[in-house]
Amino acid sequence: MANFKRDGPLIIAAFLVTLVGAAPPSRGERPHIVFILADDLGFNDVGFHGSDQIPTPNIDALAYSGLILNRYYVTALCTPSRSALMTGKHPIHTGMQHTVLYGGEARGLPLNEKLLPEYLKELGYSTHAVGKWHLGFYRDEYTPTHRGFDSHLGFWTGHHDYNDHTAMEKGWWGLDMHRNMDHAWDLHGQYSTDVFTNEAVRIIKTHDTSNRTRDGGKPLFLYVAHAAVHSGNPYNPLPVPDEAVKKVEHVKGYNRRRFAAMLQKMDESVGMITEALSQKGMLQNSIIVFSTDNGGPAAGFNLNAATNWPLRGVKNTLWEGGVRGAGLIWSPLLNNGKGRVSNQLMHITDWLPTLISAAGGDAFSSNGTNGKIDGVDAWRALKEDLPTSRAEVLHNIDDIYGNAALTVGDWKVVKGTTYQGSWDGWYGPSGRGRNFVYGMDLVMHSKCGRALASIGYPLSREQMSKTRMEAQVSCDEEPVEGSSTEYGYYDYQTTEAAMEVPCEPLRSPCLFNVKDDPCEKRNLAQRFPEKLTELLQRLDWYNSTAVPPANLPIDPRANPKLWQYTWTTFGNDKMVELVTEGINHTERSLIAYRLEVGQEPFDHRVHSVRDCYQIKRGISPRAVRNH
């Protein structure tokens, strides 16, 4: 029963909105789309999946009033997931399937690929990106504002320090914070999560909605790709203000506590963005997606402290803990504010056709698409709670790592693994137990909770409790804490019925029924050899469609030291591109340096970069840039 003294303002607000009626979107009016992408968030780091340890009230409020995507898959790493999101294609079809894109590589997401913001601009959208890019920047045309976004404030590499905004990579160090094509030196010292939140709120508040009519107008597409909760530079891997850490003093373990504070700052960001949409009168015609980019780096992986419990594995593994993502979609266009748990199979490639469909377009018939889109349009299925047309998920094929995984229906095959299997376990903490209490009041009275109530979608304890229970993933054995580390490594007590052939993917492929065994403890490869063969043949088919990985050696021209200690577009010199066409990478780098120090590009008396600098000792290389 509701406590009127405590909940009265929310109840009255919802009642008044119900009497007056939340203004429905005009027919033909395209919805605003806000896509919030968390970085390295674990499956068990959000409250709506059952953990009581770290409060995420704003994210949870959207989840309970929207759709919790409980069979939602991402890829195992940053760059592959972002390429899949932006193109609607598997990374094996864009050359982005192997590891991440480093800032020193002279490559990016192929320019012949049409990206999500480009589709939406064709539908009349204003498009803005905030936060992490990680899809290449060695030349101007690979950067966000040259690929469909009207503006971008954020960083181009895979991570940076949240305070000084520098990125350390491959022994190099330099500023990585950009405002469109300029370096944002003025933001030094401001916490990245706050910077990105403030920019997102500014974009919403200044968005012009005055020309929106029954025939359309200028809808907003806002892509907010947080740095959080990815670790920063090694000298300060989990940077967060002290006052934020004080709010989560109940969380045990130094690193997990700092991670919790970083996550709470991002949760506050979700609340502020949703509140801004409400205050602008845009929320009632908005679609909000919240997603992680990959599984969480648990137990010290990448100097981080996420948790995917009870799922197996971590980031950059193809176990469920590496690829099963925390995700949700919220919109009055979906289910009139009645939250539910979606068990429809969905993959990150599906967002492009799904969101374009929601905006009234068709990605499959759009001009400029380079080849077949791998994603499926799930909009109608999500709206009407119908099965999607997706029957399988390719998790990845990486012939360099020697691993691959595929889910078809309830069955999953895992072939090979990363790190020689050293990250193939189960890692906590679980965040459950008598020491934790889930804060439903925090959810209801969060910025998101209040914003939803203000447009007629109040939350109730009964609904939250029911939805949260349905969204939890459980396994048929209880975890027994093994080590005494702050992270908690878990082993499982296995019943006799559950004992199967051990899974050793470096020796032979493993087969799991992930519907019955989401924790991937029971290898059924020997019990169902026909099913194993079927999935392996399907993997072979996918591999026959793959393009080679596009990874390149690190290019010496990218060194931030050469560009006033900044990460920048180091390949813009048209002279370098002209004279190095068809020349191997090593010779190309030497030619670039010869040009920088004023030598003839094919002066073979100069055999090394060191020779170039000795010619002009004491003089910094000049950046020859012809835009």
At 79, which amino acid appears? Answer: T
Structure tokens at 483: 């080590």
Q: How many residues does the chain have?
A: 627
The sign of the torsion formed by the CA atoms of 90, 94, 98, 103 equals negative
d(CA 123, CA 174): 38
What single DSSP character describes residue 58? H
| Helix (H) or strand (E) segment spanning residue 491 | strand 489-492
Q: How far is CA 86 from the centre of its chain?
A: 11
Residue pair 315/43 in contact by the 8 Å Cβ criterion: no
Q: Give strand ranges (E) for 390-460.
A: 392-398, 403-408, 411-415, 426-427
Going by C-alpha positions, the residue among 371, 359, 266, 373 that lies closest to residue 42 is: 266
Clarify whether 134 is annotated catalytic.
yes
d(CA 181, CA 568): 9
Catalytic site residue from 134, 165, 183, 347: 134
Clarify whether 612 is annotated catalytic.
no
d(CA 99, CA 417): 13
Query: How many CB atoms sit inside 10 A of residue 257's CB?
Result: 21
The sign of the torsion formed by the CA atoms of 533, 539, 541, 543 equals negative
Which residues lie closer than 8 Å to 205 by C-beta, 6 or more apart? 276, 279, 280
d(CA 258, CA 246): 10
Helix (H, G, I), strand (E, B) or coil at 134: coil
Burial of 182 (0-12, 13-18, 19+ CB in 10 A): exposed
Going by C-alpha positions, the residue among 424, 427, 431 that lies closest to residue 482 is: 427
Nearest-5° Cα angle at 227, 120 to 459: 70
Catalytic site residue from 32, 78, 445, 448: 78
Q: How far is CA 114 from the centre of its chain?
A: 19
Kindly list the catalytic residues: 78, 134
